[in-house]
A and B are shown apart, each in its own frame.
Chain A
Amino acid sequence: RRYAHTGAKWDRREITWKIRNYSPDLTTSEIIDALRNALQIWGDAIPNTFRRVHVGSADIEISFSVGLHQDDYPFDGPGGTLAHAFFPGDDLGGDAHFDDDEQFTVNAYEGTNLFIVAAHEFGHSLGLGHSSEITSLMAAFYQGYKPNYELPYDDHVGIQSLYGARQGSIPSLPDVPIAGAPPGPPRPDLPVPNTPEPGPDPHCANSYNAIAKIRGELMLFKGKSFWRMNMKGEPLEGYPIDTSRFWDQLPVKLDAAYERIDDKILFFKGSSYWEYFSTNRDPSFPHPIRELGLPDDIDAALPWGDTGKTYFFKGDLYWRYDEIKKEVDSGYPKKVADNWDSAVPSNMDTAFRFIDVETKTWYTYFVRSKKYWRFDESRGKVDKGYPRSFSEDWMGC
């Protein structure tokens, strides 16, 4: 379950906004600050900028009204519907209307927090529909006042799939937790480190540490960088970015990563593994991989659809782990060559499954250094013509 696109988006970087009138509940500057912060919560994630205009029309026009107002969707008095907005487009497109029968407040738990309602409606103004992820900003229900609000993962993923990621760097946290330091997202108030620019074409890295399908998208990890791919397997604009921009204290140079059947995301490095819920690290980790009944370190992890089985690879051996019983199935490890295909490489870097959207065929891909092998699951064989160059076929190098 996750965010929803409406297909509408602004095709320009700078988006204008204008306040048509004000609610009597707050001072003018309280309203302006709340609305500006609500736009900026999106602006921090995407390359677009928001410019306030005072005269003429704007992309996003904001107004406070009661009952029947200038569209076909009358408000309903206190409670119930708090606001609504229109998806990107001409005229009403992008506009956000707030029900002034609510008692809007700022920085308080009482009343209806204008910032959080506005941030949600501006998600619509930018092209997002309602998300079924109940903890996301774009879930339809009022979430109440939340100090130091951060854009949740689902919304982050959703808006960046529409507009790409904002370039520029945000200070990264040390990749080893400081004893006693509370976990938490990056702190923008730290000075920006002068991280050296990645090489001439960051997409064309020679190899990748880990590739995993997470929330339906392919994510590639290499060193401290990570990429996201769209449904067609093309890199999203604005990537790679620094993992610390997205994940909470993620180690660098991973060995493997995968999304488990319970939506948790697991990362493996050396003899340890970490468990994340969305981008937040479970503070009780790392744990030793050995507790799973696996060897001290692994090359790749491959979840197998919704069967609850996950394959782990190391050298020329593989294990089948049962996520429900939380143990390795009996009879493992086995030889990869005996049960998959002798063409499947040993000592692989990573493995992942991906569906060919045209033919609706599932393939498993094994990657080692610059090469990849495509394993046709229906035939149980590596397709002819493989290995091929991963960067050429997948990263457009």
Chain B
Amino acid sequence: APATSTNEPGDEDAASPANLVTPVQLRSGYNYLTKYGFLPKPNPLAGSLLSHEEFNEGIRAFQEFYRLPVTGVLDQSTSSLMELPRCGLPDIMP
């Protein structure tokens, strides 16, 4: 009988000290992920406290979308793609 489907689980790297980012990078990363649809827009009435895990989730979504290694941290390849000039529309439509 035909073989059944097997999925390999992706291997999720934990954030490593080498990838710690500065508050400025964190803020611009957050703005970028929010602007282009990888993080929900903050609710202006309720403020926007974002957990570290949510931020990593946004990075992971960006990395998956563009087939980067899914590390969940703002590593070199991720931030260099984010620095490229680009179209102003979101990547993921609300």
Interface of A toward B, CB cutoff 8 Å: 1, 4, 6, 73, 75, 79-85, 99, 102, 112, 117, 120-121, 124, 129-130, 132, 134, 140-142, 304-307, 309, 311, 320, 339, 377, 380
Cβ-defined contact, A82 with B86, below 8 A: yes
Contacts of B76 in A (CB 8 A): none
Cβ-defined contact, B85 with A82, below 8 A: yes
Given contacts A140-B36, A304-B2, A306-B5, contact A130 B87 (CB under 8 A): yes
Given contacts A1-B67, A132-B66, A132-B67, contact A307 B4 (CB under 8 A): yes
Cβ-defined contact, A141 with B3, below 8 A: no
- Which of A80, A140, A380 has most chain B Cβ within 10 Å? A140
- Cα of A193 to Cα of B50 in the assembled complex, Å: 63
Interchain CB contact (< 8 A) of A305 among B1, B5, B65: B5
B7 is an interface residue with CB less than 8 A from chain A: yes
- Which of A80, A102, A339 has most chain B Cβ within 10 Å? A80
- Cα of A314 to Cα of B83 in the assembled complex, Å: 52
Closest to A362 in B: B5
Contacts of A82 in B (CB 8 A): 85-88
Interface of B toward A, CB cutoff 8 Å: 1-7, 36, 65-67, 81, 84-91, 93
- Cα of A83 to Cα of B93 in the assembled complex, Å: 17
Main SS class of interface, A? loop
Closest to A302 in B: B2
Closest to A375 in B: B2
Contacts of B93 in A (CB 8 A): 4, 6, 129
Cβ-defined contact, B2 with A377, below 8 A: yes
Closest to A320 in B: B3
- Cα of A112 to Cα of B87 in the assembled complex, Å: 12
Cβ-defined contact, B89 with A130, below 8 A: yes
Contacts of A75 in B (CB 8 A): 88
Interchain CB contact (< 8 A) of A140 among B6, B7, B86: B86
Cβ-defined contact, B5 with A140, below 8 A: no
B84, chain A: closest CB distance, angstroms: 4
A367, chain B: closest CB distance, angstroms: 18
Cβ-defined contact, A132 with B88, below 8 A: no
Interchain CB contact (< 8 A) of B1 among A6, A83, A339: A339
List, sorted by A's number, 29 A–B pairs whose CB atoms are closer than 8 Å: A6-B93, A73-B88, A81-B88, A82-B85, A83-B88, A84-B87, A84-B88, A117-B87, A120-B87, A121-B87, A129-B89, A129-B91, A129-B93, A130-B87, A132-B65, A132-B67, A132-B91, A140-B86, A140-B91, A141-B85, A141-B87, A304-B3, A304-B5, A305-B5, A307-B5, A309-B2, A309-B3, A311-B2, A320-B3
Closest to B67 in A: A1
- Cα of A37 to Cα of B56 in the assembled complex, Å: 41
Cβ-defined contact, B84 with A141, below 8 A: yes
Contacts of A129 in B (CB 8 A): 89, 91, 93
Contacts of A304 in B (CB 8 A): 2-3, 5
